[in-house]
C-alpha cells in the first residue's frame, strides 16, 4: 500500500508540532522517521495511523483518501514502545485480540482465529509461550508478541513508535534483523519512529530526517551517509568517523 501525505500540519494550542509537510511512501517500503526528541516524529506517525487528526492536508492510502477515516477503519497495525500488551491475557489471547474485536462481518471463526494465532506465534518463534502471561516474558519476547498482535489482521501498513527503544543493545539488534526479514517476507509498507541514527540507517529503505516539525531530508541510508544535510545526522556521523 502506498501512502501519500500532502501538506499535513498540526498545532497543539499555540505550538506548531508539524509545519505543512508532504511525503510520498512507496508500496512495500520501510521508512524510518529520524530526528531529535520533540521534532514531530510521533505526531506524524499518529496522524498516519488516524490516532490523531491533522489540522489540514490529506492522507491517501493508495487511491483512498483516509484523512477523515477512523483509526479502526484504516487497517493499520501499530506497535508501541512499551509493548502495550494486556497483562491479564495470555500471549495467545493478546495476539487474538485484534481479530476478536473486528466487526462481526469481518471476524474469522473461532477455529480460524486459533489457527491464525498459532501461525503468527510460530512466525515470531514463540509458539511455546502461548499460555504464558506478559509478566512472564522478557522485553524482547514481549515486543515480538506485540508485533504478532499488530500483524494478526494482516495490515498492509505497519506503524511502529520507537519499537526497540526499551530494549538492550543486543536484543535491539536481533529484533531489527528479525523485523526487516518479516517485512521482506510479508511485503507490508512500514513506517517506524526512532531517534537512533544507527537503527534508521540499518533498517530503512529511506530515512526521513525531521527537525522542529519539518522534514529536513529524505534519502536512502547510503545517500544520507554520503551527504547528511541535517546537523542531527551530521553530528552523529562526525562522531563515528
In the sheet with 189-194, reading across from the earlier edge strand, the strands are: 76-79, 157-161, 189-194, 30-34, 206-211, 214-219
Q: Least Å distance between CB 165 and ligand ADP?
A: 11
Please identify which residue in 8, 17, 99, 129 interacts with ligand ADP, judged by CB under 6 A.
17
Q: What residues from 23 to 82 belong to the interface with ligand ADP (CB under 6 A)?
A: 35, 37-43
Whole-number minimum distance, CB 235 to ligand ADP, in Å?
Answer: 17
- In the shown chain, the binding pattern of residues 170 to 199 toward ligand ADP, with x for contact by CB under 6 A and - for none, equals -----------------------x------
CB of 121 to ligand ADP, least distance (A): 31
Counted residue by residue, the chain has a size of 241
Query: Is 145 a residue that touches ligand ADP (CB under 6 A)?
Result: no
Distance of CA 121 to the CA centre of its chain: 19
CB 48 within 8 A of CB 191: yes
| Helix (H), strand (E) at residue 217 | strand 214-219
Judged by CB under 6 A, does residue 233 bind ligand ADP?
Answer: no
Distance of alpha carbon 146 from alpha carbon 152, whole angstroms: 10
Question: What residues line the site for ligand ADP (CB under 6 A)?
Answer: 12, 17, 35, 37-43, 193
Amino acid at each position: 500500500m502506498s501512502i501519500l501525505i500532502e501538506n499535513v500540519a498540526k498545532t497543539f494550542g499555540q505550538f506548531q508540532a508539524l509545519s505543512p509537510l508532504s511525503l510520498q511512501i512507496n508500496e512495500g517500503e520501510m521508512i524510518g522517521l529520524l530526528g531529535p526528541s520533540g521534532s514531530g516524529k510521533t505526531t506524524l506517525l499518529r496522524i498516519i495511523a488516524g490516532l490523531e487528526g491533522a489540522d489540514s492536508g490529506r492522507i491517501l492510502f493508495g487511491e483512498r483518501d483516509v484523512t477523515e477515516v477512523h483509526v479502526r477503519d484504516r487497517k493499520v497495525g501499530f506497535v508501541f514502545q512499551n509493548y502495550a500488551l494486556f497483562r491479564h491475557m495470555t500471549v495467545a489471547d493478546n495476539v487474538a485480540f485484534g481479530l476478536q474485536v473486528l466487526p462481526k462481518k469481518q471476524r474469522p471463526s473461532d477455529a480460524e482465529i486459533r489457527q491464525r494465532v498459532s501461525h503468527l506465534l510460530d512466525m515470531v518463534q514463540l509458539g511455546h509461550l502461548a499460555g504464558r502471561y506478559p509478566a512472564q516474558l522478557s522485553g524482547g519476547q514481549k515486543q515480538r508478541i506485540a508485533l504478532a498482535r499488530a500483524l494478526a489482521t494482516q495490515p498492509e501498513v505497519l506503524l511502529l513508535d520507537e519499537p526497540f527503544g526499551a530494549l538492550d543493545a543486543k536484543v535491539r539488534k536481533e529484533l531489527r534483523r528479525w523485523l526487516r526479514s518479516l517485512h521482506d517476507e510479508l511485503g507490508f509498507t512500514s513506517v517506524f519512529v526512532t531517534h537512533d541514527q544507527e537503527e534508521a540507517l540499518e533498517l530503512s529503505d529511506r530515512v526521513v530526517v525531521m527537525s522542529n516539525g519539518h522534514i529536513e531530508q529524505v534519502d536512502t541510508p547510503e545517500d544520507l551517509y554520503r551527504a547528511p544535510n541535517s546537523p542531527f545526522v551530521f553530528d552523529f556521523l562526525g562522531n563515528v568517523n
